Structures are given as C-alpha cells and as structure tokens.
Amino acid sequence: MTALARLYLFVVLGILSAPIVVVAGVSLNERKSLYFPPRGISLAWFEQLFTDPSWRGALINSLTIAVCAAVVAVLVALPLAYAIWRYKLRFGALLYTIGLAPFILPPVVSAIGFLSFWATVGLYGQMIAVILSHGIFLTTLPLVTITLGLRSIDPTVIEAAETMGADERAVARTVVLPLIAPYMLSGLAFAFVLSLNEYIIAFMIAGFTVETLPVKIFNSLRYGYTPTMGAAAVVFVLLAIAVFGLIGRFGDLPKLLGAWERKPD
Amino acid sequence: MTSALSIDTVAKRFGGVVALDQVCLDIPEGTFTCLLGPSGCGKTTLLRIVAGLEQPNEGRIVLAGTDITALPAHKRGLGMVFQSLALFPHLSVAENIGYGLKLRGVPAGKRKAKADELLDLVRLEGVAGRRITQLSGGQRQRVAIARALALEPKLFLLDEPLSALDAKLREEMQVELKELQQRLGVTTILVTHDQREAMTMGDLIVVMDHGEIRQVGAPLDVYRAPADRFVADFLGGANLLSGTVADDGTVALGDTRIKAAHANGASQGDTVTLCVRAEDVHLKLGKQRGSNRLAATIAFVRDLGHVIEVTADSSHGQFKVLVPASEREGLGIGAQATLHLPVEACRVLVR
Amino acid sequence: MSTRSTAPGYALAFFPTLALGILFLVPFGIMATISVAHRISGGFYEPGFTLASYWRFVSPFFGNILFNSLLLSALAAVLAVAIAFPFTYLLTRQPRRLQVPILVGLLAVLSLSEVIVGFSWSTLLSRSAGISNLFVAIGLMEKAQSWTPGLYAVIAGLTYVSLPYATMVLYPALSRLDPELPEAARTLGASPLRAFFEVIVPVCRKAIVACLIMAFVYSLGSYLLPSLLGRPQHWTITVHITDQAIYQSNLPFASAMAVFLLITALALVGFTQRFLGERA
C-alpha cells in the first residue's frame, strides 16, 4: 500500500466524517447559536433532547416506529425468503424482486404511493400507517440478509437432519433457524436504523400528527437552527455506529455486504 | 444369508439424463458393500435413493422385507455419513451425536451417555463439549460416523466420507472403519471412486458405469476375473489388447496368436479384448522364442520401491509390466526385451 | 428433495406476498389512478380520467425543471462514483480488521437521515460555523462566508449522500476481484497507478456503469438536500413531487410526476439488472 493510496483513503474518510464532526461540535455550544468550533462546552442541548417534551416525544415516536417496523419487516421477509429457498417456488424470483423493489425505487415514489393508500383506507396520519409503511419499505433488508444466510447453509446439513429423523418442522426449528439467526438479527438491525432515519415517508404519511425525530428536526429548521438538532444528529450517528458496530463485531459484515465468505483461517 | 436390502429395477432420470438405468441389487445382511465407479456413474444417486433423499422414477427399495420406496428420509431410520460430513455448525460434538435421539424424545442424560459411548467407539475422547470448528479433519470424520451410528441404524450409508482426508489418514480410517463395521455387524454401503478403498473395505464390490451395474462380486473375484473391459480398466493395472478369436481358439493380435486360459465363451471371429495383469507378465531381457511371447522395447522405467513398473512398447501396443525390485539390472530405456504372457493369466473379455 | 410438495411453500409465502401486494403494489395502483383524476382547485380530487396532470408536466416550465433535475443527479452520480471507485478498491485491499470499522462508518453515514445530512452541510457551508472559518484560520481566505443556499451546495450534498451508496454498490464486485490481477500487471511492468487504470478499471467497467445508474436513481430520490441547500430554481423533481402533494395539495399532479419517476427508475434499474448484473 503506497502512501498516496493511504492518503486518498483518509481524505475520503475525512470528507465523509466532516459534516458529522461539525454537527457534533455545534451541539456542544454553550449558547443557543451555531458556532464551529463551539464557543464554550455544554451538554445542555443533549439534556434538552431527552427532557424537552416535544424533542423527547419525537425521540420516543421514532424509536417506537423503528422497533415495530423492523419487526414487521422481518415478519414479512422471513417466511418469504424461507419459502423461496426451501420450496424453490416457481414465482420465487419474481417475489424476491418485488421484495427488493421498495428499497431500490426512489423513496418519494413509495411515499406518494403510501400516502394515497392510507388516505384511501382512512388511516392517514396514524402511527400504525407509518409502522406498516416502514415495515414494507424496509423489508428488502432482512429479505437480503436472510436469503444470504439461507444460501450459505450446506444443503447436506439439511439432508443429514432428515436421515436422523427430522421432518420439515424439525428441520426448520433445529437447523435452519439457529443457523440464520445472526442474519435475521442483522436484517432487523439494518431495518431499525434505517426506519429511525427515514424522513420522506414518515413526513408524507403523518408529518403533522406523529412527529418522528427527522421530521421534528426538519420542522424546526424553519424556525431557525438550534444546537439541539446537532445533539439529535449526534445521538443518531452514535446509535447507528453502535448497531453496525455490533454486527461488525459479532457477525461477518463484509460477507453481509457482498464479499465472498471469509476463508477459514 | 438373507437380503438386508433389495434394490429392485430402480431407474432415475434427471431431466433427459439417465442417472440410473433399471438397477437391481441384493445386499446380504451384515456385509460391507462398496459402490465403485467413476464420477457420474450413478453410485451416489443410488445411495441417495436408498437413503430417501432422492425419489426413483421406477422401481422399489425393499429394506428387510418392507417396501420403503415411498417413505421419506426422516422415517427410514438409516445412518448416513455425507461427503461434506454435514456436521451441524451450531451444535457441539455431543449435541451433533445426540441430535436424532433428541428428536425421538430421549432424555438428556441418556443422550449424553450414548454420545460418550459412541465417541469411545470411534476412539475420540474428551471432545464431547467442543464446537465442530475446533476439531481437525480426522476428528470431524469420527464425529460424523458416531452421529450416523447413534440411532443404531439397520443400514449404514457412507457417501465418499474419506475423500477430504490426506492419503495417510485416509488409509488409517479405511482400516478403522472396516474393523468398526465388523465389530458392529451393521449392513453398510459405501460409495467411492477409489478402487483401492473398495478393495480394502468391501466384502462386496459393485462396479458401476453410466447408470448400470457392470459387475458384482467379492473384491478379489472382481479383480482377478473382471467381467468386461470397463471393469478391468477401472480396477487398474491391466493390459488390454484388442484382437479377434482365431480358428484354433487363440486370440489373434495381428500376426501373433496368444493362447488364453479363460475364453469366457467367445467364439471364432469375435472381436474381443485380451486382458493380462501387469504383475502376471514376465519380462526377460533380450530375444526369446516361444509361444505367448512378444518382442518389445523398454520405453520407461518407474521405480516404485518394492517393485519396478516397466512400460514396454510392442508392435501390438504398450504394456505395463511389474518386475520385482531384485531384477532391476539392465532395465534401461531402449533395451530389447521379450514379454511372456502366461496362458493361465490371459483372459478373454467379450465386451 | 424431489418428493417434497411445494404446497407448504406457497402457504408460507402467502402472507408476505399479500402484505407486499396490498401495501406496496396496491398503493402504486391508487397512485396511478389519482394521477389521472380531476383536480378540484384548492381541495382534493375526484375520480375521473384526464391527462391534464401529465400535460402540465411536459410544459416548458416543468420540462426545464425535469431537465435540471436529471442533470443535477447525473452530475452527482458521476462525481460520487469517480470518488467511490478508487476508494472502494483501496478499501477492499485493506486487512479485515481495518475494513470492518470503515464499513461500520460508511453504513452509519449511509443510513444517516437526509435531514441530518442537510442540516450538517448547511452548517458546514454556513458563515458562522462553516468550513470557511477553517480557511480563514489557515490564511486561505480573508473573511468567512456563506456558501449556502446555492447550486454548488446542492451538488456537494447530493455527491455526499451518493458516495457511501456508490461504495456499497461497488463493494461486492471489487472485493471479489482477483487480487492476482493487478499483481500480474505489476510483474509485467505496469506501475500501480497504470495497473489500476489499465487493468482494474476496464475489468470493472460493467460494475462501474451499473453503479453510475444506481447512484443516479439514488440521488434522483433525494428530497431534502435540494430544498435545504438550494434555491427554488435548484429544486429537483422529488422536491416538486413533495411540494405539490403536501404544500400545494395537488395530489393528481404529484402522482403524475411520481408515476413518471417510477417508470424512469424501473427502466433504469431493470436495464442494470438485465444487462449489467453479475450473476442471477
């Protein structure tokens, strides 16, 4: 690795982290103004995030929606991925593509779709509508990770279980589920973090009734910038790093992201 | 002996490809049978059909008098060792071995005792609590064998289980497996493409090619008396020469006539293969006259330690000859020699 | 395995398929219906069939917006891939213990809400807390100044959000690249830089084109950055869709634009999958 190559890596990493560094600095300002580097160090804005009813409410809304949506996403993805893999369904490839589509299309298209749907059904503005929309929108992530997990199972392991007396149900319960559990958790985590950060769908479906943290930040931007937004951003970045860091620590992150399986050391 | 397993005119096609073509085979109780053949000959498909992992298009599988053709794999109660071993990576050694027992509701204490007993049987102690990833290749092998025997199966199936091991360990395991099978007396079927492995372990060798059984017999019978050119060739070490049966019953290789003790019912004018094993050919330096003798030139000499393998060119084709190590002197490339094919060592193969 | 019936498979797949069908495909159907509905001024819409929304959309005014929008996204995609390709290549050559933390960071930035990115960039480019203060400090500039809102700010923001995305799209192809390929070029006398441009880039050209298209679709979908960092003339089609749907209450027009965006994205992604996909 030449020095030039290493320098390039660090410059890009620097650019990627620059806005976050600035926001983190801004969130530490002592007074209610944005300065970078911060003038005076204070954690008051973090405190406000957790104590001020409107910020706190938005944070709780975001977390509730993200947890529920991630569970919905896994509940949709798991049986679909399992059925496509285990039974080699004739329309498997098509179903898989439909499962991938929400995440690949521009989110605003899905947002308008969801908006018209919930308006028609009469659940416009409800939290449940946001949860279900996020669940469907993000189902792509557990679908991809679980499918990856299923495909990495040695098929003779399943056959071995069969020769020892395991029927369909026992195979699923004692072999497949334990083996894909880490992939399922990764999918859940990905969906959770992305739901937490999702703006446009949450805004269109319930932007004025169920304020999530990103919606709250955006709505507040119109009345001027406050360091609390910086504090919220920092909390979100740390949360994302914690979740992905856990996957990276206990799982095989390069493989999840598409590298070949790790060679046995 | 009674038949432990009957394979009754079983056929299997994958799309348009015929994997098994009306195969019939009876396997006696307590024997060690080796399905031997090149890759793609259908031996693994046959084993998988016996295990219930594959369904035949035609025919029946009869286990101890019961037709089990329609029975799914998980109800057959057979023990199988897979080529990849297929050990459960999420379970410990003892949990792997106890897996089938757990499905049958055997309590934990008994499972533990059984796992220890089996680990003892395969000479693998003190690893019950380990994870599969912490074991060496040979240890994994033994765990897979122990797991397949845990349910005390009526039939023990092995699909090239030793192919991943290095040569030395493989030979040790062959002997050990054979001893284990003899001790337990369990009817065993092993799939292999290695004729030495089949010779080492099998009571019965089944040679297969292109979805058909070419020959069934005891190892030495198959080796000594191959049924056809394919079997002789696959078992190795045979010189195979094409010729025609002459009016005096000898085999004519061009203008040379070779007398063969085993005519196998060939009649005059038939195109046949003359088969003579490398260790049966006598090689003498210089020219010699006499019947069943061919003039040849030494083309290559390979020292194998206990024996010397000489490649000699004759006007009727190339011969491989095994010469005792004590007769090394004078065997140089280009030397003239005479090959003597003893009458009793010559076999005529019709196919 | 051939004995197994697929009936339980269809039973299992039924619920997820139903969920995707009702919550994903039906909404698009409704959206398409609304796009041809009659708009009632100042209110909502009533069912019907009119192509008025589509006609308005191809008017010179919106045609211009559309063109600008596509141009902005394309520019951001090209910049992002140009930066991301060498970056991802170098990343995949790093030892695993270094790759994992960088991947964690990339995922964190990628998942970061656009609101936060927009807020960060407007802060970064602002006068009081921006990067110009840094330049003043090291003597490059005389006075701190604000660079937002503006066209360059929008381009910078779009490039920034597309960068980790492009990296993730390139990562599988590049990490599976045979490491002996550049080594072979080196033994034949190519300098590292030459080996990169003459061996690695051509070998990965399919992945690069696929990544360009995906990054383009991705930046087309950005809503907040153009509206936070740009002036109204820099607004992209996504911003207009949201504006029409929420602030102008013109759902038929928003739907018509969304249908157009949907078809464009589907065509581009479909093309990528069909002709540039690595494996089935």
User: How confident is the model over B185-202, as pLDDT tens digits?
Assistant: 999 999 999 999 999 999
Looking at CA atoms only, how far is residue B54 from chain C in angstroms? 6
Task: Show residues of chain C in contact with A258, CB under 8 Å.
Answer: 171-172, 175
- Is C101 a residue whose pLDDT tops 50? yes
- B84 contacts in A (CB within 8 Å)? 154, 156
Chain A positions in Cβ-Cβ contact with residue B150 (cut-off 8 Å): 164
- In angstroms, the CA C205 to CA A143 distance is 28
A160 reaches B (C-beta below 8 A): yes
| In chain B, ranges of CATH 2.40.50.100 domains | 237-349
Q: What is the pLDDT of residue B276?
A: 92
- Phi/psi for B153 (5° steps) reads -70, 155
CA–CA separation, B121 and B134 (whole Å): 20
| Partner residue opposite A178 with nearest CB, options B74, B90, B157 | B90
The identity of residue C135, as a single letter, is F
What is the share, in percent, of chain B residues with pLDDT greater than 70? 99
Nearest-CA distance B79 → chain A (Å): 7
Q: Residue A23: its pLDDT value, please?
A: 83
Cα(C168)–Cα(C215) distance, rounded to whole angstroms?
10
Per-residue pLDDT reduced to its tens digit, C50-67? 777 787 777 887 788 888
Please give the average per-residue pLDDT across B150-166, as a whole number: 91
Q: Which residue has the higher pLDDT, C42 or B43?
A: B43
Residue C229: pLDDT over 60: yes
Contacts of A196 in chain C (CB under 8 A): 111, 113
Per-residue pLDDT, A157? 94
Interface confidence (ipTM) of the complex: 0.86
Residue A105 CB: number of other CB atoms within 10 A?
23
pLDDT band at C2 (very low <50, low <70, confident <90, very high): very low
| pLDDT value for C264 | 87
Q: Do A163 and B76 touch (CB under 8 A)?
A: yes
Return the number of other C-beta atoms located less than 10 Å from residue B178's C-beta: 17
Q: What is the pLDDT of residue A159?
A: 93
* pLDDT of the residue at C1: 43
To the question of domain B237-349 being in CATH 2.40.50.100, the answer is: yes
CB atoms within 10 A of CB A90: 11
- Which pLDDT value is given to residue B231? 93
Q: Does C19 touch chain A (CB under 8 A)?
A: yes
- Residue in chain A lying closest to B86 (CA): A157
A166–B74 CB contact, under 8 Å:
yes
B323 to chain A nearest CA, in Å?
46
CATH topology of domain B3-224: Rossmann fold (3.40.50)
At residue B257, the pLDDT reads: 86
For residue C183 the two structure tokens come to 């080594």
Strands annotated E in chain B: 3-14, 17-28, 32-36, 58-63, 66-67, 79-81, 155-159, 187-192, 204-209, 212-217, 238-245, 251-253, 256-258, 271-277, 282-285, 293-303, 307-314, 317-324, 336-340, 347-349
Place of tokens 């209450």: C249
| pLDDT tens, position by position, B13-35 | 998 899 999 999 999 999 999 99
Q: Which residue of A has its CA nearest to C11?
A: A83
Which residues, given as ranges, of chain A have pLDDT below 70?
1, 33, 35-36, 260-265
| Residue from the list C25, C27, C176 with its beta carbon closest to the beta carbon of A260 | C176
> What CATH number has the domain spanning A55-214?
1.10.3720.10
Average pLDDT of the residues in C132-140: 73
Residue B332 has pLDDT above 70, yes or no: yes
- Between C22 and B216, the more confident residue is B216
In this prediction, residue C80 carries a pLDDT of 95
Q: What is the pLDDT of residues A114-127, one digit of tens each?
A: 988 998 888 888 99
pLDDT-wise least confident of A25-34, B174-183, B251-260: A25-34
List the domain boundaries for chain A. Answer: 55-214
Chain A closest CA to B106's CA: distance in Å? Answer: 13
Residue of C nearest to A158 (CA): C1
Q: Is A261 on the interface with B (CB under 8 A)?
A: no
C73-245+263-276 fold: MetI-like fold (1.10.3720)
